[in-house]
Amino acid sequence: MKLLVPVTRESRIVLGIAFFIGFVGLWGLVTWAGLVPPHFLASPWQTVASGFKLFVDQKFSFDVGMTIWRVVGGFLIAAVIAVPLGIAMGAYKPIEAFFEPFISFARYLPASAFIPLLILWVGIGESQKLTVIFLGCFFQLTLMITMIVSATRRDLVEAAYTLGCTDTGVIRRVLLPGAAPEIAEALRQVLGLGWTYIIVAELIGASSGIGHMITDSQALMATDHIIAGIVVIGLVGLVSDLAFKKANQHLFSWSLLR
């Protein structure tokens, strides 16, 4: 096996599925052998059955829809602000020098630490949950886009100026076309980051959502429901990631990003 040699699409799919099969098989073996008590770790088949009952009997699809709305909503708000700000910071170094120290500082602050303040500022409604997702995505995305735009080849920028382009023309004809595929990839990655914050966002004051269901299940020690909720988050996040990736490949088919 040679290093860094790409595998075919079919091989990648087979290998990925093989891991999931092995993981579920090991999980089932551990629970079947009684190595872990059932109230600490539900079996795969018990989890699947509980997940089915959640959707059929407890209208879990509404909770899933609310969670998706919160993740997508907070992410879109972050993207609408972070994309133009990141482009401006990457293109104009004085703007980068002004914003970068604070954004670099803020990106290390856990979004969950702001929840007590957000409850005081905006209450426990949807605004609080959207803000948690926003904080988890915005600072990371801004710096990623700044780095992408800053990495534009300097010779292309100089050539554009030599040909008479203005600053706006350089941004529109050189910086954005060159950076667009990587910006799209950064958006895909940060959307995945947003999914990691949703349970935290729904821990307090939520009457719906996957996080709300998981919190209620924790009080009842219903590990089958908890695991089912985690699996649903993973599946929805995976579907959104694959859809985002497919859209990026379609929009930027000429790019090397795959």
Write out pLDDT tens, residues 105-148.
998 888 888 888 888 888 777 888 899 999 999 999 999 999 99
Using CA atoms, how far apart are residues 98 and 88, in angstroms rounded to an integer?
Answer: 11
Tokens (6 digits) for 210 = 């996957």
Task: Fill in the DSSP letter of residue 22.
Answer: H
In order along its 258 residues, the chain shows pLDDT tens digits of 567 677 787 888 888 899 989 999 999 998 888 888 877 888 889 899 988 988 888 888 998 999 999 999 999 999 999 999 999 999 888 999 999 999 999 988 888 888 888 888 887 778 888 999 999 999 999 999 999 998 887 777 778 778 777 778 778 788 888 888 899 999 999 998 888 888 888 877 677 888 888 888 887 788 889 999 999 998 998 898 888 888 888 887 766 544
CA proximity to 87, closest of 174, 27, 5: 174
Residues in contact with 125: Cβ distance below 8 Å, sequence separation at least 6, in sequence order = 205
Q: Where are the domains of the chain?
A: 65-251
Distances 12 to 6, 8, 172, 185, 216 between C-alpha atoms, Å: 9, 6, 37, 20, 38
pLDDT of residue 258: 45
List alpha helices for the chain, DSSP H. Answer: 9-32, 44-57, 60-91, 93-106, 115-122, 126-150, 154-162, 167-170, 176-201, 210-219, 223-251
Question: pLDDT (tens digit, 9 = 90+) per residue, 35-45?
Answer: 888 778 888 89
CATH superfamily, domain 65-251, is MetI-like (1.10.3720.10)
Rounded distance, CA 50 to CA 37, Å? 17
Predicted TM-score (pTM) of the model is: 0.85
